[in-house]
Amino acid sequence: MARVVVLTPNPAVDVTYEVAEQRIGETVRVSGVTRRPGGKGLNVVAVLRRLGVPAVALQPLGGATGRWIEESLREAGIDAVVVPAPGDTRTTVAVVDGRTHPTLYAEPGDALPETTWRELADAVARLCEPGGFLIVSGSFPPGTAPERLAAVIGAGRNAGARVIADTSGDALLAAADAGADIVKPNEAEAMEATATGTLDAAAAALLDRGAGTVVVSRGADGLGALEADGSRHRQPAVPGVRGNPTGAGDAATAGLVAALHSGLPLAEGLRWASVVGAAAVLAPVAGSINVADLPPLADRLPAGDRPALPLPIPTR
């Protein structure tokens, strides 16, 4: 099977604080702390690995935090390719209490020099292969010029990989302009980036800019997709799922790509995205799923909206 290359342009050390209750302006005692390599792309790689998909994590890393991320990835058995970056890799903090939506504190990260971007594009060209995928996932360092993303996407496409961009803001527009095969914003990101007032208008604007397909995650309202030929797809979310939604969108991206990587059509990919995203909500931290949760979660969907069983993806 051709590999999936996942570029995380702005990785982080993800710290999760567990508290009894989130309270502003007060001293809050932390009952549990989890530290793990983070950034949306690294979440995607971790879930792809659980789904049995061959995936390579590509990221710029620098300083002591960068070395910790690299060592942690190696210890977890993740195939990681690191491009050296100046400065220290950033940290993000999530505060969770099981009552309300987690509160996230995300450092911006340091700008990457032109040499680092060239090395990332060269690594994409070297790692990608025909029949594989390049996933560009997450935020970008401050000051990233659109042509940097265009060069990365071009390198992946020239190597024969299909490119999926899960990002927001100017980077989302740049990915569409560069001809990404699929762009995958959430509903708010799609409308904000395109300055449109409806989801249909936002998807149409991204297609007009050059995206092949627009897949939009809508939280409890599921997912939708609009293809360049006008084909539309709607997929409901798995009902009755409660837990930590941090990283659910990344898991949905992994589910979508795992299905497409197995040769399944887009509609089936959306079904997998729904179920794998729901499994991530049940997990304690982002980038984690229990594959045993997938069949019972699929059974909660209406019959016509469930991924095909038996599972086309290994459950280990």
Active-site residue set = 250
Phi and psi at residue 111, to the nearest 5°: -60, 145
Euclidean distance between CA atoms 155 and 142, whole angstroms: 22
Euclidean distance between CA atoms 274 and 254, whole angstroms: 10
Show the tokens assigned to 75.
């210890």
Show the tokens assigned to 218.
């809508």
Show the tokens assigned to 279.
């499994």
24 to each of 102, 130, 221, 227, 279, how far by Cα in Å?
Answer: 13, 51, 30, 44, 30
Show the tokens assigned to 84.
């050296």
Q: Do residues 68 and 13 lie in contact, with contact meaning Cβ atoms separated by under 8 Å?
A: yes
Longest dimension (CA), the chain: 55
Euclidean distance between CA atoms 127 and 4, whole angstroms: 9
Residue the block writes with tokens 């210890």: 75
Q: Do residues 7 and 59 lie in contact, with contact meaning Cβ atoms separated by under 8 Å?
A: yes
b/e for 234-267, b at 16 or more Cβ within 10 A? ebbbbeebeebbbbbbbbbbbbbbbbbbbebebe
82 to each of 49, 59, 123, 162, 167, how far by Cα in Å?
Answer: 18, 5, 9, 22, 21
Euclidean distance between CA atoms 164 and 215, whole angstroms: 10
